[in-house]
């Protein structure tokens, strides 16, 4: 198979966590398409266990496309509507496992017990790795990570023809509805040979694949192994950003990856996803982080050339298990959210930086300056320039931008105008704030 790493000329993905499909469709038309986002990533579409918690999605009962997010028709309508708005659709796809609870009835009415999910799977289709409870105990054992259970979730024998064929049929059902790409859940828990085999059976081939591989330096399984299939989510980036913006200093962020990280061309990065914002999988910033750091980090993510950026769009909660408000009907208004929805993708700075990213494309990082640990400024070729001041004092300076002379509208505030003269910008950036100019946003 050919690696599915090219997200196209509109590379920014929004993870619309727990948004139902009707509300995704409406938001594609109203905001996401016009704002220039390339992709929405939606929560898993298959039959799952019943319940109000968001994580029921990851306990698959069958591949019938009836979930709390909508019906098969709702999914199809959303794909068509988003396409008409110029937005592609990524589906969070669970191939590694089925439900982990003892028994129940799924969202499409199918009854199941652990290891038996008629009419799809019976007890012969799973791994029983032999550890207590068949759970992963040694996270440095490749065999355990890939054939034992993640949190009791029944682990499919993805090396077998029967399992591969049915997972590919599920994938092809999604492709037949017009799905553009996949986020492969728990990819680390499947050998690359199994994923490659299943992906190889998809027709048409997905345009983009991003794989969840949570890896630390020195871990037995590294994300780079998965780069031949598609992009890999680089959680070390997420944690490095959290540390840098939380006091560690951002001056090190010009080029901060190490050789074990997935390389830029195969990395998918985010300040937070649905797991990390809740303190799972990897340390990250979240909406409650102090001093505007969450927004500043998202600005950095969209400005810096490393990886393909995903913006999380999520909701407030009192318990980490809480499902989405309003039955998953996402609602935004103006530059924010309502009814508990955060609508990060509408925040002026984040939407503005999506335009910046689209404009700068793959232009090289230029004109880097960092006079102190919490202050950085850099350009992208001669088409964009960003200044990030994560310091508790204003930063007054004259910056060499590389930009053509003219008057630009700062895409962080969406309103302030700045003059570049002789390639220079003379300004003072307020405390814990940023300025970003690009040639697509001249005043
Ligand atoms: C993922 N990627 O590999 C998802 O990003 C992550 O959100 C999923 O965990 C995980 N893998 C499995 O797909 C979530 C959630 C867990 C939850 C599982 C399954 O973070 O807390 O586990 O989904 O629903 C829950 C209970 C857990 C229980 C398990 C099985 O929290 O205590 O384990 O269900 O019943 C006994
Ligand atoms: Ca597995």
Q: What is the CATH number of the domain that holds 387?
A: 2.60.40.1180
- Say if 77 falls within a structural domain: yes
- Say if 6 falls within a structural domain: no
- Residue 327's pLDDT band (boundaries 50, 70, 90)? very high
* pLDDT at residue 59 greater than cutoff 80: yes
Query: Which ligand is closest in space to the CA of residue 184?
Result: 1
Per-residue pLDDT tens for 346-391? Answer: 999 999 999 999 999 999 999 999 999 999 999 999 999 999 999 9
Which of 336, 360, 384 is at the close of a domain?
Answer: 360
Residues 173 and 121 in one domain: yes
Residues 385 and 294 in one domain: no
- Residue 266's pLDDT band (boundaries 50, 70, 90)? very high
pLDDT of residue 8: 85
Residue nearest to atom 15 of ligand 1 (CA): 55
Per-residue pLDDT tens for 408-419? Answer: 999 999 999 999
Residues 334 and 413 in one domain: no
Residues 275 and 393 in one domain: no
Best of 55, 146, 210, 322 for a ligand 1 pocket test (most atoms within 8 Å of beta carbon): 55
Per-residue pLDDT tens for 67-84? Answer: 999 999 999 999 999 999
Cα of 55 to ligand 1 centre, how many Å? 6
Which of 326, 360, 394 is at the close of a domain?
Answer: 360
Q: Give the ligand 1 atom nearest the CA of 97.
A: 13
- Residue 63's pLDDT band (boundaries 50, 70, 90)? very high
The predicted model gives 2-26 an average pLDDT of: 94
Which of 328, 360, 392 is at the close of a domain?
Answer: 360
Per-residue pLDDT tens for 195-251? Answer: 999 999 999 999 999 999 999 999 999 999 999 999 999 999 999 999 999 999 999
Residues 408 and 291 in one domain: no
Cα of 151 to ligand 1 centre, how many Å? 6
Please state, rounded to an integer, the average pLDDT across all residues of the chain.
98
Residues 372 and 354 in one domain: no
Cα of 187 to ligand 2 centre, how many Å? 8
Which two structure tokens, joined as six digits, stand for 200?
């190889």
- Say if 167 falls within a structural domain: yes
- Say if 25 falls within a structural domain: yes
The predicted model gives 313-332 an average pLDDT of: 98
Residues 316 and 341 in one domain: yes
pLDDT of residue 257: 87
Give me the catalytic one of 47, 74, 155, 185: 185
Residues 40 and 144 in one domain: yes
Cα of 267 to ligand 2 centre, how many Å? 22
Best of 58, 60, 113, 281 for a ligand 1 pocket test (most atoms within 8 Å of beta carbon): 58
pLDDT of residue 3: 82
Q: Give the ligand 1 atom nearest the CA of 151.
A: 33
pLDDT of residue 1: 82
- Say if 51 falls within a structural domain: yes
CA distance 417 to 437: 9
Residues 295 and 431 in one domain: no
The predicted model gives 430-440 an average pLDDT of: 98
Closest to 17 (Cα-Cα) out of 340, 233, 380, 353: 340
Residue nearest to atom 30 of ligand 1 (CA): 100
**Is the full-model pTM beyond 0.95?**
yes
Residues 346 and 382 in one domain: no
Please confirm, yes or no, whether 30 is among the known catalytic residues: no
Q: Residue 149 forms beta bridges with which residues?
A: 135
Give me the catalytic one of 27, 47, 92, 212: 212
Q: Give the ligand 1 atom nearest the CA of 57.
A: 24
Helix (H, G, I), strand (E, B) or coil at 186: coil
Q: Which domain holds residue 171?
A: 13-360
Cα of 138 to ligand 2 centre, how many Å? 14
Going from the C-alpha of 82 to that of each of 56, 74, 89, 189, 425, the distances in angstroms are: 25, 12, 7, 31, 39
pLDDT of residue 6: 77
Packing angle between helix 192-200 and helix 161-176, nearest 10 degrees? 50
Residues 298 and 409 in one domain: no
Residues 241 and 267 in one domain: yes
Per-residue pLDDT tens for 15-46? Answer: 999 999 999 999 999 999 999 999 999 999 99
Cα of 56 to ligand 1 centre, how many Å? 8
Domain total in the chain: 2
Other CB atoms closer than 10 Å to residue 151's CB: what's the count? Answer: 12
Residue nearest to atom 21 of ligand 1 (CA): 55
Please confirm, yes or no, whether 212 is among the known catalytic residues: yes
Half-sphere exposure of 350 (CA within 13 A, CB side): 27
- Say if 241 falls within a structural domain: yes
- Residue 58's pLDDT band (boundaries 50, 70, 90)? very high
Residue with tokens 């023809």: 161
Residues with CB under 6 A from ligand 1: 55, 58-59, 100-101, 150-153, 185-186, 212, 275, 280
- Distance between first and last Cα of the chain: 46
- Say if 101 falls within a structural domain: yes
* CATH number of the domain to which 186 belongs: 3.20.20.80
pLDDT of residue 303: 98
Per-residue pLDDT tens for 156-205? Answer: 999 999 999 999 999 999 999 999 999 999 999 999 999 999 999 999 99
Which two structure tokens, joined as six digits, stand for 279?
């303190």
Best of 93, 95, 113, 151 for a ligand 1 pocket test (most atoms within 8 Å of beta carbon): 151
Going from the C-alpha of 136 to that of each of 93, 116, 151, 152, 198, the distances in angstroms are: 21, 21, 8, 9, 24
The predicted model gives 124-150 an average pLDDT of: 98
Closest to 70 (Cα-Cα) out of 98, 32, 43, 104: 43
Q: Give the ligand 1 atom nearest the CA of 189.
A: 3
Do residues 368 and 361 lie in contact, with contact meaning Cβ atoms separated by under 8 Å? no
pLDDT of residue 7: 82
- Say if 3 falls within a structural domain: no
């Amino acid at each position: 198979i050919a690696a599915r790493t090219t997200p196209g000329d509109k590379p920014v993905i929004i993870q619309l966590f727990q948004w139902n499909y009707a509300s995704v469709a409406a938001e594609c038309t109203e905001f996401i398409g016009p704002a220039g986002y390339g992709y929405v990533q939606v929560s898993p579409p298959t039959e799952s266990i019943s319940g109000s918690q968001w994580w029921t999605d990851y306990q698959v009962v069958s591949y019938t496309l009836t979930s709390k997010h909508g019906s098969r028709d709702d999914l199809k309508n959303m794909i068509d509507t988003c396409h008409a708005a110029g937005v592609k659709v990524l589906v969070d796809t669970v191939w590694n496992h089925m439900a982990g609870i003892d028994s129940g009835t799924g969202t499409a009415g199918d009854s199941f017990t652990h290891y038996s999910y008629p009419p799809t799977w019976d007890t012969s289709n799973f791994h029983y790795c032999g550890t207590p409870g068949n759970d992963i105990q040694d996270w440095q054992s490749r065999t355990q990570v890939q054939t034992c259970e993640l949190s009791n979730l029944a682990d499919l024998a993805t090396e077998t023809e029967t399992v591969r064929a049915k997972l590919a049929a599920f994938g092809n059902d999604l492709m037949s509805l017009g799905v553009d790409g996949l986020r492969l859940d728990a990819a680390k828990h499947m050998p690359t040979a199994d994923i490659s085999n299943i992906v190889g059976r998809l027709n048409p081939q997905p345009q983009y694949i991003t794989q969840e591989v949570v890896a630390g330096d020195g871990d037995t399984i590294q994300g780079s192994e998965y780069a031949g299939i598609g992009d890999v989510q680089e959680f070390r980036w997420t944690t490095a950003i959290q540390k840098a913006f939380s006091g560690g200093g951002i001056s090190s962020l010009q080029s901060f990856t190490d050789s074990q990280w997935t390389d830029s061309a195969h990395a998918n990065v985010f300040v937070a996803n649905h797991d990390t914002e809740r303190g799972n999988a990897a340390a990250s910033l979240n909406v409650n982080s102090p001093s505007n750091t969450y927004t500043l980090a998202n600005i950095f993510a969209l400005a810096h050339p490393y990886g393909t950026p995903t913006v999380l769009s999520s909701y407030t909660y009192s318990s980490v298990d809480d499902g989405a408000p309003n039955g998953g009907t996402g609602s935004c208004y103006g530059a924010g959210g309502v009814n508990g929805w955060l609508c990060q993708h509408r925040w002026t700075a984040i939407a503005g930086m999506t335009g910046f990213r689209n404009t700068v494309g793959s232009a090289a990082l230029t004109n880097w300056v960092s006079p102190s640990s919490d202050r950085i400024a850099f350009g992208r070729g001669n088409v964009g320039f960003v200044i990030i001041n994560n310091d508790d004092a204003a930063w007054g300076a004259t910056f060499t931008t590389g930009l053509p002379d003219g008057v630009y509208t700062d895409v962080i505030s969406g309103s302030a105008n700045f003059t570049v003269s002789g390639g220079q910008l003379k300004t003072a950036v307020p405390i814990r704030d940023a300025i970003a100019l690009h040639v697509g946003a001249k005043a």
